[in-house]
Amino acid sequence: YATSDQIAGGLSAEWAARLGLRAGIPIPVGAFDAHWDAVGAGARLGDVVNVVGTSTCIIAIGEPPGRMIPGVCGVVPGSVDPARIGIEAGLSATGDIFDAIARRAGQPVAELSRGLERYRAGETGLLRLTWDNGDRTVLVNPELGGVTLGWRLTHTAQDELFAAIEGTAFHTRVILERMEEHGVPIERIINGGGVPQRNPVLNRVYAGVMNKPILVPKGDVTSLGSAIFAFLAAGTFRSIEEAQDALCPGHLEVLPEPAAAAVYASLYPLYKQLYFAFGRQGSESVPIGHVLPELRRIAAEVRGGSIAANAAD
Protein backbone atom coordinates (compact mmCIF):
# COMPACT_ATOMS: atom_id res chain seq x y z
CA TYR A 1 0.00 0.00 0.00
CA ALA A 2 1.04 3.60 -0.54
CA THR A 3 1.65 6.09 2.26
CA SER A 4 0.88 9.79 2.40
CA ASP A 5 4.38 10.89 1.42
CA GLN A 6 3.84 9.37 -2.03
CA ILE A 7 2.14 11.01 -5.00
CA ALA A 8 -1.07 9.33 -6.13
CA GLY A 9 -1.13 11.23 -9.42
CA GLY A 10 -1.67 14.64 -10.95
CA LEU A 11 -4.81 16.76 -11.13
CA SER A 12 -6.66 15.84 -14.31
CA ALA A 13 -7.42 18.38 -17.01
CA GLU A 14 -11.16 17.96 -16.42
CA TRP A 15 -10.98 18.75 -12.72
CA ALA A 16 -8.39 21.45 -13.26
CA ALA A 17 -10.87 23.22 -15.54
CA ARG A 18 -13.70 22.83 -13.02
CA LEU A 19 -11.61 24.17 -10.16
CA GLY A 20 -9.75 26.86 -12.07
CA LEU A 21 -6.40 25.25 -11.30
CA ARG A 22 -3.44 24.05 -13.32
CA ALA A 23 -3.55 20.47 -14.60
CA GLY A 24 -0.91 18.13 -13.26
CA ILE A 25 -0.72 19.51 -9.71
CA PRO A 26 0.67 16.61 -7.61
CA ILE A 27 -1.87 14.96 -5.32
CA PRO A 28 -0.51 12.87 -2.43
CA VAL A 29 -2.04 9.62 -1.24
CA GLY A 30 -4.89 10.17 1.20
CA ALA A 31 -5.23 8.89 4.76
CA PHE A 32 -7.69 8.58 7.62
CA ASP A 33 -8.96 11.87 9.00
CA ALA A 34 -7.95 11.06 12.59
CA HIS A 35 -4.38 10.26 11.53
CA TRP A 36 -4.00 13.63 9.87
CA ASP A 37 -5.76 15.28 12.83
CA ALA A 38 -2.97 13.89 15.01
CA VAL A 39 -0.28 15.24 12.68
CA GLY A 40 -2.01 18.63 12.63
CA ALA A 41 -2.14 18.59 16.44
CA GLY A 42 1.64 18.32 16.46
CA ALA A 43 2.03 14.60 17.20
CA ARG A 44 5.56 13.25 17.15
CA LEU A 45 7.34 10.20 18.53
CA GLY A 46 6.48 10.00 22.24
CA ASP A 47 3.13 11.74 21.87
CA VAL A 48 -0.37 10.32 22.01
CA VAL A 49 -3.30 12.28 20.59
CA ASN A 50 -6.86 11.70 21.76
CA VAL A 51 -8.93 12.86 18.79
CA VAL A 52 -12.16 13.40 20.73
CA GLY A 53 -15.34 13.83 18.71
CA THR A 54 -18.44 11.66 18.35
CA SER A 55 -16.05 8.81 19.20
CA THR A 56 -12.39 8.94 20.21
CA CYS A 57 -9.45 7.89 18.06
CA ILE A 58 -6.29 7.49 20.12
CA ILE A 59 -3.25 7.95 17.91
CA ALA A 60 0.38 7.27 18.80
CA ILE A 61 3.60 6.89 16.83
CA GLY A 62 6.21 4.19 17.39
CA GLU A 63 9.54 3.22 15.90
CA PRO A 64 9.80 0.32 13.42
CA PRO A 65 9.49 -2.60 13.41
CA GLY A 66 6.69 -2.27 15.96
CA ARG A 67 4.87 -5.13 17.63
CA MET A 68 1.33 -6.27 18.19
CA ILE A 69 -0.52 -4.89 21.21
CA PRO A 70 -3.31 -7.10 22.64
CA GLY A 71 -6.66 -5.41 22.15
CA VAL A 72 -5.26 -2.69 19.86
CA CYS A 73 -6.21 -3.42 16.26
CA GLY A 74 -4.55 -0.57 14.42
CA VAL A 75 -0.77 -1.09 14.50
CA VAL A 76 0.24 -0.29 10.91
CA PRO A 77 3.58 0.81 9.41
CA GLY A 78 3.34 4.23 7.78
CA SER A 79 -0.28 4.88 8.72
CA VAL A 80 0.35 8.18 10.55
CA ASP A 81 3.97 9.11 9.94
CA PRO A 82 5.12 7.33 6.76
CA ALA A 83 8.54 6.68 8.31
CA ARG A 84 7.24 5.13 11.53
CA ILE A 85 4.60 2.81 12.99
CA GLY A 86 1.12 4.26 13.40
CA ILE A 87 -0.84 3.02 16.41
CA GLU A 88 -4.59 3.60 16.58
CA ALA A 89 -7.02 2.63 19.32
CA GLY A 90 -10.13 4.32 20.63
CA LEU A 91 -13.54 4.56 22.21
CA SER A 92 -16.59 3.60 20.13
CA ALA A 93 -18.52 6.59 21.45
CA THR A 94 -17.64 9.77 23.33
CA GLY A 95 -19.49 12.84 22.10
CA ASP A 96 -22.32 10.57 20.97
CA ILE A 97 -22.78 9.51 24.61
CA PHE A 98 -22.90 13.12 25.75
CA ASP A 99 -25.48 13.87 23.04
CA ALA A 100 -27.56 10.83 24.03
CA ILE A 101 -27.66 11.92 27.68
CA ALA A 102 -28.74 15.41 26.64
CA ARG A 103 -31.33 14.04 24.22
CA ARG A 104 -32.92 11.91 26.94
CA ALA A 105 -33.05 15.02 29.11
CA GLY A 106 -34.72 17.00 26.33
CA GLN A 107 -31.89 19.56 26.15
CA PRO A 108 -29.10 20.41 23.72
CA VAL A 109 -25.77 19.17 25.05
CA ALA A 110 -24.44 22.74 25.16
CA GLU A 111 -27.28 23.73 27.46
CA LEU A 112 -26.86 20.68 29.69
CA SER A 113 -23.14 21.47 29.93
CA ARG A 114 -23.71 24.88 31.50
CA GLY A 115 -22.42 24.77 35.05
CA LEU A 116 -20.32 21.60 34.60
CA GLU A 117 -17.28 23.58 35.70
CA ARG A 118 -18.70 23.59 39.24
CA TYR A 119 -18.46 19.81 39.51
CA ARG A 120 -15.60 18.31 41.48
CA ALA A 121 -13.98 14.95 40.83
CA GLY A 122 -16.08 12.06 42.09
CA GLU A 123 -18.74 14.18 43.73
CA THR A 124 -21.66 12.60 41.83
CA GLY A 125 -21.06 9.19 43.37
CA LEU A 126 -21.61 7.67 39.91
CA LEU A 127 -19.17 5.41 38.08
CA ARG A 128 -19.88 5.01 34.38
CA LEU A 129 -18.62 2.32 32.01
CA THR A 130 -19.06 4.09 28.68
CA TRP A 131 -19.83 1.09 26.49
CA ASP A 132 -23.01 2.61 25.06
CA ASN A 133 -21.76 1.76 21.56
CA GLY A 134 -19.67 -1.26 22.54
CA ASP A 135 -15.95 -1.44 23.30
CA ARG A 136 -13.43 -0.85 20.56
CA THR A 137 -10.28 -1.08 22.68
CA VAL A 138 -9.04 -3.04 24.64
CA LEU A 139 -11.83 -5.61 24.98
CA VAL A 140 -12.83 -5.35 21.31
CA ASN A 141 -16.45 -6.29 21.94
CA PRO A 142 -19.26 -4.44 20.13
CA GLU A 143 -21.90 -6.35 22.11
CA LEU A 144 -21.23 -4.55 25.40
CA GLY A 145 -23.60 -1.88 26.71
CA GLY A 146 -23.16 1.08 29.02
CA VAL A 147 -23.25 0.61 32.79
CA THR A 148 -23.75 3.26 35.45
CA LEU A 149 -23.30 2.42 39.13
CA GLY A 150 -24.34 4.47 42.14
CA TRP A 151 -27.71 5.89 41.06
CA ARG A 152 -29.81 7.70 43.67
CA LEU A 153 -33.21 9.39 43.41
CA THR A 154 -31.59 12.82 43.49
CA HIS A 155 -29.26 12.36 40.52
CA THR A 156 -29.74 14.60 37.49
CA ALA A 157 -28.93 14.36 33.80
CA GLN A 158 -26.07 16.77 34.38
CA ASP A 159 -24.67 14.43 37.04
CA GLU A 160 -24.73 11.64 34.47
CA LEU A 161 -23.03 13.85 31.89
CA PHE A 162 -20.17 14.64 34.26
CA ALA A 163 -19.85 10.97 35.22
CA ALA A 164 -19.75 10.06 31.51
CA ILE A 165 -16.88 12.49 30.95
CA GLU A 166 -15.05 10.84 33.84
CA GLY A 167 -15.87 7.40 32.41
CA THR A 168 -14.41 8.21 29.00
CA ALA A 169 -11.27 9.49 30.72
CA PHE A 170 -10.94 6.28 32.75
CA HIS A 171 -11.39 4.18 29.60
CA THR A 172 -8.76 6.25 27.82
CA ARG A 173 -6.34 5.62 30.68
CA VAL A 174 -6.92 1.85 30.38
CA ILE A 175 -5.93 2.10 26.72
CA LEU A 176 -2.86 4.25 27.32
CA GLU A 177 -1.66 1.88 30.02
CA ARG A 178 -2.04 -1.05 27.61
CA MET A 179 0.05 0.81 25.03
CA GLU A 180 2.78 1.62 27.54
CA GLU A 181 2.86 -1.98 28.78
CA HIS A 182 3.78 -3.02 25.24
CA GLY A 183 6.52 -0.51 24.59
CA VAL A 184 4.73 2.56 23.21
CA PRO A 185 6.45 5.68 24.58
CA ILE A 186 4.00 8.25 25.96
CA GLU A 187 5.67 11.47 27.01
CA ARG A 188 2.93 13.96 26.10
CA ILE A 189 -0.86 13.63 25.91
CA ILE A 190 -2.63 15.90 23.43
CA ASN A 191 -6.41 16.28 23.32
CA GLY A 192 -7.28 16.94 19.68
CA GLY A 193 -10.59 16.85 17.83
CA GLY A 194 -13.57 19.14 18.19
CA VAL A 195 -14.84 18.38 21.71
CA PRO A 196 -11.72 19.55 23.62
CA GLN A 197 -11.90 22.88 21.78
CA ARG A 198 -15.39 23.48 23.21
CA ASN A 199 -15.33 21.64 26.53
CA PRO A 200 -12.65 22.77 29.01
CA VAL A 201 -14.22 20.57 31.71
CA LEU A 202 -13.33 17.46 29.70
CA ASN A 203 -9.68 18.56 29.48
CA ARG A 204 -9.60 19.25 33.22
CA VAL A 205 -11.06 15.81 34.01
CA TYR A 206 -8.62 14.05 31.67
CA ALA A 207 -5.68 15.82 33.33
CA GLY A 208 -6.88 14.67 36.74
CA VAL A 209 -7.53 11.07 35.69
CA MET A 210 -4.15 10.74 33.93
CA ASN A 211 -2.43 12.86 36.60
CA LYS A 212 -0.46 14.38 33.75
CA PRO A 213 -0.68 17.66 31.85
CA ILE A 214 -3.09 17.64 28.91
CA LEU A 215 -2.10 19.71 25.88
CA VAL A 216 -4.88 21.27 23.80
CA PRO A 217 -4.05 22.86 20.42
CA LYS A 218 -4.59 26.62 20.36
CA GLY A 219 -6.98 26.49 17.43
CA ASP A 220 -8.77 24.09 15.12
CA VAL A 221 -6.27 21.69 13.55
CA THR A 222 -8.76 19.39 11.82
CA SER A 223 -7.57 20.17 8.29
CA LEU A 224 -3.99 21.12 9.15
CA GLY A 225 -2.62 17.59 8.81
CA SER A 226 -3.87 17.30 5.24
CA ALA A 227 -2.32 20.70 4.49
CA ILE A 228 1.02 19.48 5.86
CA PHE A 229 1.07 16.51 3.49
CA ALA A 230 0.04 18.76 0.61
CA PHE A 231 3.00 21.04 1.38
CA LEU A 232 5.29 18.00 1.47
CA ALA A 233 4.01 16.95 -1.96
CA ALA A 234 4.68 20.45 -3.26
CA GLY A 235 8.22 20.38 -1.88
CA THR A 236 7.65 23.32 0.46
CA PHE A 237 8.95 21.39 3.47
CA ARG A 238 11.39 18.48 3.66
CA SER A 239 9.81 16.66 6.59
CA ILE A 240 6.66 16.43 8.68
CA GLU A 241 8.54 17.88 11.65
CA GLU A 242 9.72 20.90 9.64
CA ALA A 243 6.15 21.54 8.47
CA GLN A 244 4.78 21.14 12.01
CA ASP A 245 7.31 23.65 13.34
CA ALA A 246 6.14 26.17 10.77
CA LEU A 247 2.39 25.54 10.76
CA CYS A 248 1.12 23.96 13.97
CA PRO A 249 -0.24 26.27 16.67
CA GLY A 250 1.04 25.99 20.20
CA HIS A 251 -0.75 24.14 22.97
CA LEU A 252 -2.72 25.23 26.00
CA GLU A 253 -1.42 23.20 28.94
CA VAL A 254 -4.06 21.94 31.38
CA LEU A 255 -2.41 20.82 34.60
CA PRO A 256 -3.91 18.21 36.93
CA GLU A 257 -5.45 19.62 40.10
CA PRO A 258 -3.97 17.80 43.12
CA ALA A 259 -7.34 17.31 44.82
CA ALA A 260 -8.91 15.87 41.65
CA ALA A 261 -5.91 13.62 41.01
CA ALA A 262 -6.22 12.26 44.57
CA VAL A 263 -9.90 11.41 44.04
CA TYR A 264 -9.26 9.75 40.70
CA ALA A 265 -6.41 7.74 42.23
CA SER A 266 -9.10 6.15 44.42
CA LEU A 267 -11.75 5.80 41.71
CA TYR A 268 -9.61 4.46 38.88
CA PRO A 269 -8.81 1.08 40.51
CA LEU A 270 -12.56 0.55 41.02
CA TYR A 271 -13.21 1.42 37.38
CA LYS A 272 -10.44 -0.82 36.07
CA GLN A 273 -11.60 -3.77 38.17
CA LEU A 274 -15.18 -3.42 36.92
CA TYR A 275 -14.08 -2.76 33.33
CA PHE A 276 -12.49 -6.19 33.04
CA ALA A 277 -14.93 -8.01 35.35
CA PHE A 278 -18.05 -6.85 33.48
CA GLY A 279 -16.53 -6.68 30.03
CA ARG A 280 -14.45 -9.80 29.58
CA GLN A 281 -16.22 -13.11 29.05
CA GLY A 282 -15.00 -15.80 31.39
CA SER A 283 -13.43 -13.29 33.74
CA GLU A 284 -12.63 -14.51 37.19
CA SER A 285 -15.11 -13.58 39.89
CA VAL A 286 -14.11 -10.49 41.84
CA PRO A 287 -15.60 -9.04 45.02
CA ILE A 288 -17.75 -6.01 44.22
CA GLY A 289 -19.65 -5.51 47.46
CA HIS A 290 -17.35 -2.65 48.40
CA VAL A 291 -17.89 -0.64 45.20
CA LEU A 292 -21.16 1.19 45.93
CA PRO A 293 -20.24 2.07 49.54
CA GLU A 294 -16.85 3.29 48.31
CA LEU A 295 -18.45 5.49 45.64
CA ARG A 296 -20.72 7.00 48.25
CA ARG A 297 -17.86 7.49 50.72
CA ILE A 298 -15.68 9.25 48.14
CA ALA A 299 -18.55 11.52 47.06
CA ALA A 300 -19.27 12.46 50.69
CA GLU A 301 -15.62 13.25 51.35
CA VAL A 302 -15.40 15.40 48.22
CA ARG A 303 -18.51 17.34 49.17
CA GLY A 304 -17.20 17.71 52.71
CA GLY A 305 -13.83 18.94 51.50
CA SER A 306 -11.68 16.39 53.33
CA ILE A 307 -9.99 15.06 50.18
CA ALA A 308 -9.12 18.57 49.01
CA ALA A 309 -7.61 19.32 52.42
CA ASN A 310 -5.53 16.14 52.39
CA ALA A 311 -4.29 16.86 48.86
CA ALA A 312 -3.27 20.37 49.90
CA ASP A 313 -1.27 18.94 52.82
Whether pTM > 0.75 for this model: the answer is: yes
Burial of 246 (0-12, 13-18, 19+ CB in 10 A): exposed
164 in a domain, yes or no?
yes
111 in a domain, yes or no?
yes
**According to the model, what pLDDT value does residue 141 have?**
97
**According to the model, what pLDDT value does residue 182 have?**
94
**According to the model, what pLDDT value does residue 67 have?**
85
129 in a domain, yes or no?
yes
Burial of 275 (0-12, 13-18, 19+ CB in 10 A): buried
Burial of 89 (0-12, 13-18, 19+ CB in 10 A): buried
Cβ atoms < 10 Å from Cβ of 280? 14
Per-residue pLDDT of the chain (313 residues; tens, 9 = 90+): 899 989 999 999 999 999 999 999 999 999 998 999 999 999 999 999 999 999 999 999 998 887 899 999 899 999 999 999 999 999 999 999 999 999 999 999 999 999 999 999 999 999 999 999 999 999 999 999 999 999 999 999 999 999 999 999 999 999 999 999 999 999 999 999 999 999 999 999 999 999 999 999 998 887 899 999 999 988 999 999 999 999 999 999 999 999 999 999 999 999 999 999 999 988 888 899 999 999 999 999 999 987 665 666 6
**According to the model, what pLDDT value does residue 313 have?**
61
5 in a domain, yes or no?
no
Torsion of CA 253, 231, 59, 148, to 10 degrees: 70
**According to the model, what pLDDT value does residue 179 have?**
96
**According to the model, what pLDDT value does residue 66 have?**
79
| Exposure b/e, 163-176, CB count within 10 A at least 16 = b | bbbbbbbbbbbbbb
170 in a domain, yes or no?
yes
Tally of domains within the chain = 1
Owning domain of residue 150: 33-219+250-312
Q: Give how far the C-alpha of residue 75 lies from the chain's centroid of Cα atoms, to the nearest Å.
A: 17
7 in a domain, yes or no?
no
CATH of the domain at 43: 3.30.420.40
181 in a domain, yes or no?
yes
| Exposure b/e, 37-71, CB count within 10 A at least 16 = b | bbbbbbbbeebbbbbbbbbbbbbbbbeeebeebeb
